[in-house]
Amino acid sequence: MTNPRGGAEIFYSYDNPADYLTVTLSTNIKGVAQYQDTIYHGYKQIDLSFWTLEIDNETHVVCQVWLDGVLTDQSEFNLHCGLVESIHNRVVFSDSSISVYTNDFWVYTYCFVDTDWPAAVQIKAKVTGGDLTLNVVSAELCDPREAVYVDYESTSDSALQSIIQQRPIQIFAQVDRANAFTYSATRDTVPAHHVVSYDEQTHDNNNLASDGLVYYSDVGINISEMTAEQVGLITKLYRLSELYNGAIEAAQRMQQIALERRKIVNITCRLDSRLQVADKLAIDLFLTSTGTHIVDEIIIEDISISLSDGNYSMRISGRRKF
């Protein structure tokens, strides 16, 4: 049985576009071309190619869809802004369609008769026709909607809830009074130094689930084998009724974070201004009293700084990284 629903979103950019220098996104998503029969023709691997052309001092973009290496569709679009010095592409795979946006212009869409989405989507980027440095970013959870509309009468809390759409979003403070929004991404890996104390605690929280029943625009299930191995069979219902794409992955992220928070590590160390919430703290230390060697890695969730007798110390709390 095929899975017709799924989503993926890729952003990539590069400078100094040249004619016929092609960027190809190879996927493990399969589809059936327009005007073809699903049973007779079958599902074929989807690839997307993109390049630019200079025509009459205007930059044109060309998009192609390939199925099992056979060219299926091609379209050309004039950006109508002269010759551009850099390309910023957003590619959205949503259920049975592909859309491409270049420098904030919608340039291409292709719809398949049907698609077959794998459990784990893989998208690889490659360049042909020359050398090019690509800056590639993949969205953690994709949603093809261009906007979310909020009622004027909504409170700030309900408006924020409408925007994040029940996704497992974590909000972290950054420098210059900015906020970072993420699902489970981590920042830099920083080695711990001058550790004064190390404490590990085990908490069986209410969010643990080995079998997650996901209620969204459809109904699905996600199984966490690691949770089942460590704590046994626990069933939990995730109500994500406003999610369309990415609901199963959202439940998977919540199960993973809940399992990671089962092991909470607290350390006290010398003040380290490099550390931020969501950094991975690499711990490698010897206990002088017993000679025990501790090697650990945690994701920082809380940082507090104290001053006592003229000495600063930092208290760090984090979940065990699996």
User: Where along the chain do its domains lie?
Assistant: 7-138, 189-202+263-320
3-state secondary structure of 211: strand
Q: And the tokens for 274?
A: 């490099």
Using alpha carbons, select from 139, 114, 124 the residue that is nearest to residue 5.
114
For the chain, which ranges sit under pLDDT 70? 1-2, 148-154, 156, 159, 162-163
| Mean pLDDT for the chain overall | 88
| Confidence (pLDDT) at 154 | 66
Task: Please give the Cα distance from 185 to 192 (Å, whole number).
Answer: 20
Task: Please give the Cα distance from 40 to 266 (Å, whole number).
Answer: 60
Which CATH architecture group holds 7-138?
A: Sandwich (2.60)
Return left, alpha or beta for 161; rule: phi > 0 is left, psi -120 to 50 is alpha, else beta.
Answer: alpha
Answer for the pair 281, 190: CB distance below 8 angstroms, yes or no.
yes
